[in-house]
Structure 1
Amino acid sequence: MTSHDSHPSSVPPPELVRFTAATFARPGGGAALADLTWAARGGQTWAVVGPVGAGKTTFADAVAGTLVLRAGEAEWPLVARARAAGRDAYFPRDVVRTVSFKEQSRLFSYGQHYYQERFNFTDPLDDITLAAFLGAGATSGPEAVAAVATRLGVGSLLESSFITLSNGQVRRARIARALLAAPELLVLDEPFMGLDAAGREDVSRLLGELVAGGTRVLLITRPGAIPGWVTHVLELDGMRVRWQGPVEAYARQEKKAETENVPVPVSGAAADSPPVLELRDVTVRYGSRAVLHGVSWTVRAGERWALLGPNGSGKSTLLSLACGDHPQAYGNDVRVFGRRRGTGESIWDVKRRIGLVSPELHLYFNEPLSAARAAATGFHDVMAARPTTPDQGATVRRLFAEFGLTEVADRPFARLSTGQQRLVLLVRALVKEPELLILDEPFQGLDRPAIDHAKEWLDRHLRADQTLIFVSHHADEIPASVNRLLRLSEGHVAEMR
C-alpha cells in the first residue's frame, strides 16, 4: 500500500481522483451532491469537514465509487495506475477502502444479532473472532494480521468474539482491517470517534506514520480535529463545496481543550432523594477476565453524573447492568428503581423508565424506518415501528423542531448522516421523559454548534427529578448541569465525587 508519488518539483504529482462539475445520487434516490469540482493528487492528504448533514459521509461514498453519477465527470486515475502495477483493479471499489461508522459486511452484520446478545454471546456456530474479522479479505497471512492488530492496540483481543468488543475497540478493528486490504486510498470517516484521549492521540500518530510512509488517506473529521499530517481541507455545507485548499489557508475553528481532568463540583442536591441505581460490590467476569472489580455506586433521583474513563475501563458494562441488558446483573447486587434485579421484574419493567443513547445502540439500529418513526420507537423501548398516539406524534414533531430535524423527519433513517442519526436517537431517548436518562457518547458525529445546542437543551429542559448519567471522552461535551463524577480505570473505581 506504499505509494510512489514523489516527482520532480517541476512536475505536479499525478491525480488520484478527479470530479468535474459532478452531481451524484444514491441508487434509487435524488441528487446527493451537486456541482462538485475537486481533485486529489499524490502527496496530498485531505480532510473533509462541515456541519451535521453537510454531506461528508456522502462525499466519502462518492470517492469510493458507490454513488451514481448524474451529471459532470468523475474519474479515478489511481485505478488505472494500480492495474498497470499488476493489481486486479477495474473499479474504485477495488482500490478504495472506507472505514465507516457501521460494519455491515457479509462477514458480520449487527442486524443479525440482538442488542443484549453482545453481553452473553456463546453460539460457536454463529460466532466470529476478531482474528477472523481481520483476516477476511486481507492480502497477507496471520502474522501480518497479528502485527497490525497489535499496532492498533487490539492484539490481545484476537480470539475475542467480535460482538463483545467495545465501541472504541471496534473502531480500531475496522481501521486495522482496512489496512490489511492494502488499499490505494484509505477513506476514514471519523476514525477518532469513540476513542478516549489517549486512543485518539495513538491513532492519529499511527495514521501520521502511515501517511509519512506513503499511505494515501482521505479523512472525514471535525473542523477542530484536523491532525498535523493533513495537507488540504475540503469544507462542505448543504451538499455543496463551501471551501477547499491548503490546510494553512483554512480558517480553523478555535479548538477547545479536550481533557477529562476538569473540576467537577460536588453536589449537595438530591441527598434525600430515593436511589435510582445501586451497585453493591459488583464484579463482572467473562471467563477468567474481570471487567468490573467490586464496584459500588449509588445514583439518586435528580442527580447529574459524568461517567468517565478510557476505552475498556468498564463503562459500557456498568451501564448495561443499569439498563437490564447484562445477564450478570442477576448474580450481583444491582438495584434499579429500588428493586434488586431478579426479584420478579422483567427487562421491560426497567426499560420503560429509562432513556438511552449509546454507540452500541446506534450500531444495532437497522430498522427501515423514517427518522420520525425511528424516534417514536422510544415510546415502546423497541427498535421496530409501533403505532403511536396523536400526542406522541406531536411530541416527536416538537423535539424534531427543537433539535433542527424537521426537514429530515420523513427521510429514511439509514440515509441520514451519522450526526443526524445520533440526534434522532437522542430524541428517541427523550420522547417519554424518562426517570433515568443514560447518554453514552451522545454527541458522536456532531459539529460544535449542534453539540452546544444539545448541551443547552439538556441543561434547560430536563426536569429536576430526572436523573442523568452522561458518558464522554471529551470534557467540553459534558453539560453544565452535570455535577457528580465517577471515573473508572481497568474496571475499578478510580475516583468518585
Structure 2
Amino acid sequence: MLLSDLTVKIGSQSLLSIDHWAIETNQSWLVMGTNGSGKTTLGRVLANEQKLSSGSLTHTPNKVQFLSLESQQELYERELYRDDTDFIDQIDNGTPVRELLSEVHAWSDRHEQLSASLHLEPLLDRGYRVLSSGEGRRVMLARALLDEPDLLILDEPFEGLDLASRKELHALITNLINAGHWLILLVNQFDDVVQGFEHMALLDKGKLLYQGPLSAESSESQWLHLAALNKTPISLPPTLGDTTPWPADKPLVQLTRGFVQYDETFQFQGLNWMLMPTQHSQIHGPNGCGKSTLLGLITGDHPQCYRNNLEVLGYQRGQGESIWQVKKNIGYVSGALHRDYRVSGNAVTAIISGLTDSIGVYQATGDSEHHLAMQWLEIIGLAEKANRPFKKLSMGEQRLVLIARALIKQPKLLILDEPTQGLDDFNRHYVMQVVNTLITGNDSTLLLVSHRQDETLDCIKSRLVFTPSTLKNTLFDVNFLGPEYREA
C-alpha cells in the first residue's frame, strides 16, 4: 500500500495528513498514538471506509477487515434494532454467538478452533447483548478472523479484556504474525505493544511523526516523549449538586443475600455486603463474572435489582422509590452507558446531562450549567471541541466526556466501570489523578472496576473479588475483603 499526499478533513479541521508512507505486502506494522491522534481514521482509510479529502491510497489488498471499538458499537446497535422483546414472552438477549459466527461462514472445524482459542465455547448459546464488553471484543475478533482477510487491522483490541485474556490475545496476535498473516495493530498504550512486529509508526494530531524499525528502546522512548504525564496540580470547579454530607454511620449500599439468576443458574448468590461512606472499594474478577451486573443492581439498570434485598442511598429497592431519587446522588461511567449514549447533542450538552441523570438534555438549563460544563471540558482538555457533536468525537474523546459527565455533580457515590477504556496512557493516569482529587476533596465514595493493574488508588482499602464457584448451580463466588486487607 502507498499513501501519498493524503489528507482527511471535516470542514476545515484536518483529521489525518500523511505525505508519504509505503507499507509492503505482508509487512505488519504497530501504529501508536494518543486519543485524537488519527489512528481510527487511518484504519478506516486503509480499509477503504473513509473518503479522502485529497491525495491517494494505492496498491490496496483485495479483502481488508477493520476491527474497532466503533465496529463493535455498530454491531451492538444492529442488535438493538433487532430486539424482539416486545413481540415475544421473554427478554430478547440478542443474536446467539454461534449464529453471529455462522453469519461469516457455515459452521466448520475453523469455528471450533477459533472458539477454543478465544475461549468462546461457554458463550456460543448466549445472546450478544448480554455479553460483557471484553466478551464482545473476542466475538468480534473471531468474526474478523473467520473472514480470512488479506489484511487485518485491529484498533484497540485489548480494551475491556481482563489480564489473562490480554495475555492470551497478545500470544494469538504474535502467532498470527509468525504464521504469515498481514496485520496492522493500532494502540494507545505502551503495555499493548505486541511481540512480533518489526515496524512502527507514531501518530499525533493526525500527523505521522515517525515510521521505521521497531525496537523496545525506540518505541518506548518515542512513546514516553509523546505521552509524558503533566504533573500540574488539578483544581476542580464547584458543584451545583447537593453538598449535604452523607451520615458517616449510614451505608450507601446494603445488599443482603444478593443474587443474580438466569434460568436455573446463579451468576452469584448469597452476597452480604455494605458500602460505607468513604469506604473506597474496587471490584475484581475475570470477564463475564458479574462485576458490571452487580453495578447494574446498584444503579437500577439491571431488572433483578427489584428481586433483591437491596438498599441504595437510603432507598429500599422495590418500595416505590423513583429511579431519579437514587440516581441524583450517583455519578456513573461504564461501557454500557457509552454504548447507549446515542442521542444527538454536542460535548457540552453531554456533560450537562450528568446534572439531570439523563442520556441527552431534555429540560431547560442556564448559563451556570453551561459554564460548569465548560470548566470540566477544560479539565479534560477538550474545550476547543465543546460544540462538536458527541458522535463525531473519537471513542477516547467520548469516554473523556462521559467521565466529566459523571464527575460534574461530584456525587455521593461515584461508580466507575472500566472508566479509562479507550484512553491512552496519558489520559488514563490523568483521569485517575482527577478522580483522586475529587474523592479526597469531598465526601464522594468511589466504587471502581478496572482490569488494569496500574489503575488503583491508595485510598482504596476494600475489595470485592469474584472467583469461580465450586457450587454446581453457581458460576462465581464473591468475597469481601475489608479495610484490613492488603495485597501481597
State the TM-score, normalizing by the size of structure 1. Answer: 0.84
Paired with 1:439 and 1:175, the residues of 2 have a C-alpha distance of: 26
Give the CA deviation at 1:177: 0.8
Paired with 2:117 and 2:197, the residues of 1 have a C-alpha distance of: 21
Aligned to 2:30: 47
Aligned to 2:270: 294
Query: 2:284 aligned to 292, 308, 315, which one?
Result: 308
Amino acid at match of 2:445: T
Paired with 2:89 and 2:40, the residues of 1 have a C-alpha distance of: 31
- Unaligned 5+ runs, structure 2: 225-245, 469-475, 483-488
Percent sequence identity over aligned pairs: 32
Give the CA deviation at 1:251: 3.5
| Superposed CA offset, 1:95-142 (max 9, x none) | 11111114254785266489xx9xx99345x84111222222x13435
Give the CA deviation at 1:289: 2.3
Aligned to 1:400: 377
Paired with 1:360 and 1:395, the residues of 2 have a C-alpha distance of: 25
Q: Provide the alpha-carbon RMSD of the alignment.
A: 2.4
Tell me if structure 2 keeps the 8 A contact 1:488–1:495: no
The total of aligned residue pairs comes to 445
Say whether residues 1:333 and 2:309 are aligned partners: yes
- What SS is found at the alignment partner of 1:479? coil
Query: 1:99 aligned to 51, 67, 70, which one?
Result: 67
Give the CA deviation at 1:242: 1.0
- What SS is found at the alignment partner of 1:251? helix
Tell me if structure 1 keeps the 8 A contact 2:5–2:20: yes
User: Are residues 251 and 213 of structure 1, via their aligned partners in 2, closer, same or farther at CA, if it must alter by over 3 Å?
Assistant: closer
Query: 2:334 aligned to 341, 344, 358, which one?
Result: 358
Query: 2:349 aligned to 362, 373, 376, which one?
Result: 373
The 10-residue stretch of structure 1 (214-223 or 474-483) with the greater mean CA deviation from structure 2 = 474-483
User: Are residues 106 and 428 of structure 1, via their aligned partners in 2, closer, same or farther at CA, if it must alter by over 3 Å?
Assistant: closer
- Equivalent positions of 1:364-443 (< 5 A) are 364-386=340-362, 387-443=364-420
| Superposed CA offset, 1:46-78 (max 9, x none) | 111112211111111111112222222211342
User: Are residues 106 and 328 of structure 1, via their aligned partners in 2, closer, same or farther at CA, if it must alter by over 3 Å?
Assistant: closer
- Equivalent positions of 1:19-58 (< 5 A) are 19-25=3-9, 30-58=13-41
Tell me if structure 1 keeps the 8 A contact 2:79–2:95: no
| Superposed CA offset, 1:247-289 (max 9, x none) | 116231599xxxxxxxxxxxxxx99431001111112111122
Tell me if structure 1 keeps the 8 A contact 2:273–2:480: no
Paired with 1:209 and 1:58, the residues of 2 have a C-alpha distance of: 27
Amino acid at match of 1:307: I
The 10-residue stretch of structure 1 (456-465 or 404-413) with the greater mean CA deviation from structure 2 = 456-465
Tell me if structure 2 keeps the 8 A contact 1:302–1:464: no
Aligned to 2:172: 206
Tell me if structure 1 keeps the 8 A contact 2:76–2:129: no
Tell me if structure 2 keeps the 8 A contact 1:110–1:363: no
Query: 2:455 aligned to 477, 490, 495, which one?
Result: 477
Aligned to 1:66: 49
Paired with 2:31 and 2:249, the residues of 1 have a C-alpha distance of: 47
Say whether residues 1:453 and 2:430 are aligned partners: yes
Say whether residues 1:492 and 2:477 are aligned partners: yes
Paired with 1:57 and 1:304, the residues of 2 have a C-alpha distance of: 35
Tell me if structure 2 keeps the 8 A contact 1:307–1:469: yes
Paired with 2:396 and 2:414, the residues of 1 have a C-alpha distance of: 20
- Equivalent positions of 1:255-274 (< 5 A) are 272-274=248-250
Tell me if structure 2 keeps the 8 A contact 1:111–1:366: no
- What SS is found at the alignment partner of 1:219? strand
Tell me if structure 2 keeps the 8 A contact 1:485–1:496: yes
Tell me if structure 2 keeps the 8 A contact 1:193–1:444: yes
- What SS is found at the alignment partner of 1:109? helix
- What SS is found at the alignment partner of 2:45? helix
- Unaligned 5+ runs, structure 1: 1-16, 80-94, 256-269
Tell me if structure 1 keeps the 8 A contact 2:26–2:181: no
Amino acid at match of 2:433: E
Paired with 1:43 and 1:187, the residues of 2 have a C-alpha distance of: 12
Give the CA deviation at 1:332: 1.5
